[in-house]
Structure 1
Amino acid sequence: MKRKYILPLLLLVQIVFLKIIAFFPETVERLYSNGLYVWISRCSRTVLGSIPFSVGDVIYGIIITYGVVWFYKNRKMPWKEKLWKTLSFISVAYFIFHFLWAFNYYRVPLFEKMQIQREYSDADLIAFTEKLIVKTNTIHQAITKDRTQKVINPYTQDSIFKLTQNGFDKLAQQYPIFQYSVPSQKKSLISLPLTYMGFGGYLNPFTNEAQVNDKLPMYGFPNVVCHEMAHQIGFGSESECNFIGFMACMKNDNLYFQYAALTSALRYCMSNIGMKNEKEFNRLKVKINPGILENYKESERFWEQYDTVIDKAFHAFYDQYLKSNQQEDGIDSYSKFVDLLVNYYENKEIQ
């Protein structure tokens, strides 16, 4: 066999292998997520966490630049030859991607580990949302002392990075599986492109850096950071990371973290209700403090500035990416964390 065919063939082998290991989540959980990955992620964050800028973004920039230059220089190369070389690169990147992080997509689902039900009724959702509104109003009032004023987060983004550890430490006392150590949170160097793509942040799977869009409205910034940190500790599902991020924020002593989590969860719940029952949505909306609604409007105005065909295209691409990685609901999987919230807090106080 010619050498140029080896790596493309291995790409096919990898795809088949992933189809097989999807049937063995307990094995992935034991050997990778709670084994090899713990060591890999700790090493990555130890080496790169103290570097003040996003190493992953720089690497992406170098690769993209090299790719453009390579295609330009080899524009006269036969297309078949170019195809085999491109597939070889993809094969290597695909292997590194899974080895360093993405096998976590195939681990045991969080609802099984925490014994949380997946189904809930409309009445369950409404009851939880009522409870969520009361809690969100209470935290909002504690911060602003005025139910009509929006929350303005006084902390810098770097301060928020440091404050996140408090919530994860307390969460880990209750659930050791959420232990987080060796911080590596960064403001993304490509925050403007991320904004146009419609993303609040992302985990770089090659460097294990939690990348956060530094242009986001600050009232919700802590929740985004905690979501990306949940990816760092080995959870691939977006719904699970929303849930873990929510709990880490709620365990935090800082009220601004709690507010960020509560407003995000409330928005998801209200959206789910609004799609099913407009009358119930309107009844619940009037119970929400006007200042909270002002924060929602602030967020809407922010994203409207960057609402172009670009974000729709990237969301369509990301939707397919998620579906190909064990998240059958695609982009809608973000809102699936409502399932976890409603059932987890069914007989518990929100705290």
Structure 2
Amino acid sequence: MSRKYFLPLFLLFQLIGLKILTLFPEFIETYYTNGLYHYISHFSRTIFGKIPFSVGDLIYTSVIAWIIVWFYKKRKENWKRKVFAAVNFISIFYFLFNLLWALNYYRVPLYQKLDIKTDYTDEQLISFTKKLILKTNEIHFQITKDTAQKVINQLDKESIFKTALNGYGNLSTNYSYLKYEIPSQKKSLISFFLSYMGFGGYLNPFTNEAQVNSEIPNYTFPATLCHEMAHQIGFGSESECNFIGFMASTKNENLYFKYAGYTLALRYCLNNIGYKNERLYNDLRKTVNPGVFKNYKESEAFHKAHETFINTFFEAFYDNFLKLNQQKDGLLSYSKFVDLMVNYYQNRDL
């Protein structure tokens, strides 16, 4: 066999192999997530965590620049050669992506580990949302002392990075598999572009750095960070990371973290109710402190200011990316963490 066919065939074998691996989540959980990935992630965070800037951002930027230059230089070459070169690159990229992090997409689902259901009734959602409103109002008033004022997070980014560790520490006392070790949290160097792409943050799978968009409203920053840290400890599902991020935020003693977690959850729950029953949504909304909705409007204004065709393109791209990686609901997967919350807190206090 000619060497030029090796990497294209390797890509094909990878795709077939991953399809087979989806049938063995326990194997992935035991030998990859709790085995190989544990050592890879710890090594990566040890190497890159102490570097004060995002190495992953620089790698991505360099690779994108190289691809653009490569295509420009090869624009007159035979198209078959360019296709082979592109497939070779994708084959290597895809192998490293899965080896270094993405096999976590195929691990045992979190709801099975927690032994909870994933469906709920409208009555259960309404009951949970009412509890969430009381808790959100309570934390909001503790911070502002005024129901009409929005929360202004007084913590700087470095303090948020350090404080986030406390929430995960508290969380891991009950769930050892949620233990977070060896910090590697960064403000993204490409935050400007992430804003227009519609991303609050991302995990770089090649360096295992948790990247957070430094331009997002500061009151949301703690929950976004905790979400990306959940990716670092080996969770691929966006709904699971939202849920873990929510718990890590609300288990934190810091009120700004609690507020970020509760407002995140409340927004999703209210939206789910409003989708089915607008009148009930409006009735529940009246019971929420006005200052909370001022924070929501702050987030809406931020996203609206960055809405362009670029945002639309990346939403479509990421939606399909998630669907290809065990998340059949695409971007709607983010809201699926409501399923986990409603069931988890059936017999637990918020």
TM-score normalised by the shorter chain: which range applies? over 0.9
Other-structure match for 1:281: 281
Q: Distance in 1 between matches of 2:70 and 2:153?
A: 45
* CA-CA distance at 1:40 after TM superposition: 0.4
Contact map agreement 1:144 1:151 (CA 8 A) in 2 = yes
* CA-CA distance at 1:73 after TM superposition: 1.5
Q: SS at 1:46's partner residue?
A: helix
Structure 1 letter corresponding to 2:119: E
Structure 2 letter corresponding to 1:319: D
Other-structure match for 2:242: 242
**Cα deviation digits, residues 215-252 of structure 1 (max 9, x gap):** 00001110000000000000000000000000001111
Q: Does 1:261 align with 2:261?
A: yes
Q: Does 1:102 align with 2:102?
A: yes
* CA-CA distance at 1:306 after TM superposition: 0.6
Structure 2 letter corresponding to 1:273: I
**Cα deviation digits, residues 83-116 of structure 1 (max 9, x gap):** 1011001100100000000000000000001101
Other-structure match for 1:77: 77
Q: SS at 1:218's partner residue?
A: coil
Q: Distance in 2 between matches of 1:306 and 1:67?
A: 26
**Cα deviation digits, residues 181-221 of structure 1 (max 9, x gap):** 10000011111111001110000001000000000000111
* CA-CA distance at 1:158 after TM superposition: 1.2
Aligned residues: 350
* CA-CA distance at 1:22 after TM superposition: 0.3
Other-structure match for 2:347: 347
Q: SS at 1:265's partner residue?
A: helix
* CA-CA distance at 1:124 after TM superposition: 0.4
Q: Distance in 2 between matches of 1:116 and 1:203?
A: 27
Q: Distance in 2 between matches of 1:257 and 1:343?
A: 22
Structure 2 letter corresponding to 1:119: D
* CA-CA distance at 1:66 after TM superposition: 1.1
**Cα deviation digits, residues 289-329 of structure 1 (max 9, x gap):** 00001101111111111111211111111010000000011
* CA-CA distance at 1:65 after TM superposition: 1.2
Other-structure match for 2:29: 29
Other-structure match for 2:228: 228
Alignment of 1:199-218 (within 5 A): 199-218=199-218
Q: Distance in 2 between matches of 1:262 and 1:39?
A: 33
Alignment of 1:3-42 (within 5 A): 3-42=3-42
Q: Distance in 2 between matches of 1:116 and 1:35?
A: 25
Q: Distance in 2 between matches of 1:82 and 1:2?
A: 17
Q: Distance in 2 between matches of 1:6 and 1:270?
A: 52
Q: Distance in 1 between matches of 2:62 and 2:319?
A: 26
- What's the RMSD between the two structures over aligned residues? 0.6
Q: Distance in 2 between matches of 1:272 and 1:200?
A: 21
Structure 2 letter corresponding to 1:223: A
Structure 2 letter corresponding to 1:332: L
* CA-CA distance at 1:286 after TM superposition: 0.1
Q: SS at 2:220's partner residue?
A: helix
Alignment of 1:1-351 (within 5 A): 1-350=1-350
Q: Distance in 2 between matches of 1:69 and 1:290?
A: 52
Q: SS at 1:211's partner residue?
A: strand
Q: Distance in 2 between matches of 1:146 and 1:247?
A: 26
**Cα deviation digits, residues 1-22 of structure 1 (max 9, x gap):** 2111110111011001000000
Q: Distance in 2 between matches of 1:70 and 1:264?
A: 42
Q: Distance in 2 between matches of 1:259 and 1:309?
A: 32
TM-score, L = length of structure 2 = 0.99
Q: Distance in 1 between matches of 2:216 and 2:75?
A: 40
Q: SS at 1:219's partner residue?
A: coil
Q: Distance in 2 between matches of 1:93 and 1:330?
A: 22
Instruction: Give % identity.
Output: 61
TM-score, L = length of structure 1 = 0.99
* CA-CA distance at 1:77 after TM superposition: 1.4
Q: Distance in 1 between matches of 2:53 and 2:97?
A: 21
Structure 1 letter corresponding to 2:269: C
Q: Distance in 1 between matches of 2:230 and 2:262?
A: 17
Q: SS at 2:219's partner residue?
A: helix
Q: Distance in 2 between matches of 1:67 and 1:16?
A: 27
Q: Distance in 1 between matches of 2:242 and 2:68?
A: 36
**Cα deviation digits, residues 133-188 of structure 1 (max 9, x gap):** 00000000000011110000001111100110000001001110101010000011
Q: SS at 1:186's partner residue?
A: strand
Q: SS at 2:331's partner residue?
A: helix
Contact map agreement 1:4 1:85 (CA 8 A) in 2 = no
Runs of 4+ in 1 over 3 A off after TM superposition: none
* CA-CA distance at 1:61 after TM superposition: 1.0
* CA-CA distance at 1:349 after TM superposition: 0.8
